[in-house]
Amino acid sequence: MSKRYLVQTFGCQMNEHDSERIAGLLESDGYSQTDDQSQADVIVVNTCCIRENADNKLYGALGNMKQLKADNPDLQIMVGGCLAQKDRDLIQQRAGHVDVVFGTHNVHRATELLSDARTNGPITEIWEAADPDDAFPSALPARRELDYAAWLTIQVGCDNSCAFCIVPAVRGEEISRTPNDIVAEAERLAADGVTEITLLGQNVNSYGRDLALAARRAGNQAVRIRPAFAQLLRSVSAVRGIRRVRYTSPHPKDMTAEVFDAMAETPEVMPHLHFPLQSGSDRILTAMHRGYTADRFLTKLAAARATIPDLAVTTDIIVGFPGETDDDFERTLEVAAAAEFDSAFTFVYSPRPGTEAAELVDDFCDPAVVKDRYARLRTVTERSALAKHSERIGRLEEVIVEGPSKKDPSRLTGRTGQNKLVHFDRPDGPLRPGTYARVEVTEGHTQYLMGDFLEVTTKATHRTRIPVL
Ligand code: SF4
């Protein structure tokens, strides 16, 4: 029987995609996946320090693994990701049963480190920066979570300095992957039967600025220093077999009319824009170093809606950033109401060690006040979500089938072009995940839609994976 691995991911899409690469490397090395920790020969914990209580979650999980290691001394435990990049030696000091600690820039070394640790004992290997020649391990195998949809990394790192965010410290400077490399990966994915691609980066719409700068430095003065994201959307959409292109996350400051034009003119790019507001107060936006004002945000949003037909807009908003006053919060409520978001990820501010905002201890807001603000904001964002979703009742939507509904297993769940979940009645025969189907929307709720199945529009084309036992 082959050796088994388990990857536990605590993080954002970037972490999830790194986990797919780690799983792919382990499978190439002869391991097969298990969901049962007690059966695993290798457990990888891929950490994220963007999420709240990341330390507690990591050390809680590692504490639970101590007995597993005592029962099975051959078990190898690896910790990777953002928190590993930040905490480094501290991880093995606090959890001596961890065999390998690796960072965000040397994911491709996972299996070599595992093998070294087997021979030489515990290892911590953190690279300070990505090797530009090796920043995009496109040749690495990946075990995708979904057979019909895939993440495609276009850029790593971030050149911004949002005061609440640890990403620039743990992921480094922006490095864009070349367009040829990205399109080649899209073609490989399409050949595998993938029909939906999500372009992934910390600040996707500044994609390519570093490539233009490098070309200038190399003597090509004709190159304009500007993002090339709009062109990239068009190039990936032109790959035969790719029916849906999405992207995350863009930054409002860097959003251009060219990107909206590309979305409007390219049917494969889905009509969904995630546009993180963070705050509606100009004072707080300045303190956050976001680089736009509330008016500028709303102006760009209006341009997006005027250009892209039937556009859904989602956002992120932080409540209780250090120093946020009642007036600041009222502005956030006003802007959120004016923006009429389809959905909002609302967060109570919590300090991430190592960030500028975490130092502003004297300005931290009263938790009771923040709780009240949070509830008021949710009322506003849920009101607009319900209104947007109710408007869709009676519409025919094409969805990509994801599988049985988690709400009601007698139904199926699909995702619309606008990235909304629809739970719909099952047709008589089976519907493979990855199938495109037409449904009629019958109900709108704050988080999802309900619908009736009408017909299959396109059958799934990917190969079904047969588990290795
Ligand atoms: S743009 Fe701001 S929030 Fe996004 S990754 Fe960069 S620093 Fe973090």
Digit-coded pLDDT (tens) for 317-342: 999 999 999 999 999 999 999 999 99
Pick one of 3.30.930.10, 3.90.1300.10, 3.40.50.1100, 3.30.750.210 as the CATH number of 144-270: 3.30.750.210
Could you list the beta-strand ranges (E) of 298-395: 312-319, 343-348
Percent of the chain predicted with pLDDT > 70: 95
Percent of the chain predicted with pLDDT > 90: 71
Nearest CA to ligand 1 atom 2: 162
> In the CATH hierarchy, which fold is given to the domain comprising 306-391?
Transcription Regulator spoIIAA (3.30.750)
Q: Note the pTM of the prediction, 2 decimals.
A: 0.86
SS percent in the chain: helix, strand, coil, step 5:
40, 20, 40
> What is the Å distance from ligand 1's center to 293 Cα?
16
> What is the Å distance from ligand 1's center to 157 Cα?
9
With a cut of 60, say whether residue 468 has pLDDT above it. no
Across all residues in the chain, what is the average pLDDT? 91
Testing ligand 1's pocket by substitution, the residue of 104, 159, 160 carrying the most ligand atoms inside 8 A of its CB is 160
Testing ligand 1's pocket by substitution, the residue of 156, 162, 248, 274 carrying the most ligand atoms inside 8 A of its CB is 162
Testing ligand 1's pocket by substitution, the residue of 48, 202, 249, 349 carrying the most ligand atoms inside 8 A of its CB is 202
Whether 251 is in the pocket of ligand 1, judged by its Cβ within 6 Å, is yes
Q: Please give the pLDDT value at position 467.
A: 44
> What is the Å distance from ligand 1's center to 171 Cα?
10
Q: Please give the pLDDT value at position 108.
A: 87
Whether 166 is in the pocket of ligand 1, judged by its Cβ within 6 Å, is no
Testing ligand 1's pocket by substitution, the residue of 165, 174, 249, 279 carrying the most ligand atoms inside 8 A of its CB is 165
Average the pLDDT over 261-283 and give the result: 98
Q: Please give the pLDDT value at position 250.
A: 95
For the purposes of burial, counting CB atoms within 10 Å of the CB of 454, is it exposed (0-12), middle (13-18) or buried (19 or more)? middle
Kindly give the number of the ligand 1 atom that is closest to the alpha carbon of 203: 1
Q: Please give the pLDDT value at position 16.
A: 84
Where does the chain hold its CATH 3.30.750.210 domain(s)?
144-270
DSSP per-residue codes, 280-314? S-HHHHHHHT-S--HHHHHHHHHHHHHHSTT-EEE
Kindly give the number of the ligand 1 atom that is closest to the alpha carbon of 251: 1
DSSP per-residue codes, 177-230? PPHHHHHHHHHHHHHTT--EEEEE-SSGGGTTHHHHHHHHHTT-TTS--S--HH
Q: Please give the pLDDT value at position 128.
A: 83
Whether 276 is in the pocket of ligand 1, judged by its Cβ within 6 Å, is no
> What is the Å distance from ligand 1's center to 3 Cα?
38
Where does the chain hold its CATH 3.40.50.12160 domain(s)?
4-125
Whether 162 is in the pocket of ligand 1, judged by its Cβ within 6 Å, is yes
Whether 165 is in the pocket of ligand 1, judged by its Cβ within 6 Å, is yes
Whether 415 is in the pocket of ligand 1, judged by its Cβ within 6 Å, is no
Where does the chain hold its CATH 3.30.750.200 domain(s)?
306-391
Nearest CA to ligand 1 atom 4: 202
Pick one of 3.20.20.150, 3.40.980.10, 3.40.50.12160, 3.30.420.40 as the CATH number of 4-125: 3.40.50.12160
CATH architecture of 396-458: Beta Barrel (2.40)
